[in-house]
Amino acid sequence: MDALVAKGLYRFFHSGDTEVVALKGVDLTVAGGEMVALVGPSGSGKSTLLSCLAGLDTPDGGAVEIMGQKLPRRSELERARMRARSIGMLMQSGNLLDHLTVQQNIDLQRYLAGRHASDGGPNVLEAIGLGHRRDALPAQLSGGEASRAALAVALAIEPQILICDEPTAEVDAETEQAILSVLEGRRNDGGAVLVATHSEALSKVADRIVTIRDGRLK
């Protein structure tokens, strides 16, 4: 089953009298149990596409389907509920609440999805080398630790769809391999994984690579 489907996505931005077309008729599918690497230069539309697919932004044209349900044109509350149930997101910023510890951020994500911290869930903090930082606040983390903590939050509900924007940025080679193992594990457990990346190592473990340039998939 195609867990994530984009059909003819367009997204426009305006700066004064200038119109920028960030997405130009993008079609994309990601099946359960598949990892897709999204590659392209800076400014090509990668982050805009991920935001539209996750329901954080609304495309100006086209449709997004999450597990067979259309995402755009719903209220923000409805989109938030769909995200909480089905989508794990790692974006380039805004992944962690500053006043909560790493563990509390994870527990909150599970609560929003209708689960309890005591339910168990994936113990990814140890898998990515952050078990000793579970009680740290985001401001106490390095850039690489913050990226890994955000990935743990994205995986907290064992999401059917995992969307990541540069998950291996600012990490060393050893940590990159740990992150790759976690992403492969979600794929092997049947999750649909879409990752925007510049990492050659991540692209090699993906089932498929799609390239975006000037708002179009190649």
- What's the per-residue H, E or C state across 162-199? EEEECCCCCCCHHHHHHHHHHHHHHHHCCCEEEEECCC
Q: What is the pLDDT of residues 118-177, one digit of tens each?
A: 554 457 788 788 889 999 999 999 888 888 899 999 998 889 999 999 998 878 888 888
Enumerate the β-bridge partners of residue 194: 36, 163
Enumerate the β-bridge partners of residue 165: 196
Identity at 8, one-letter amino acid code: G
Q: Domain 2-217 has what CATH class?
A: alpha beta
Domain boundaries, given as residue ranges, for the chain? 2-217
- Model confidence pTM above 0.85: yes
Return the CA Rg of the chain: 17
pLDDT at 20: 87
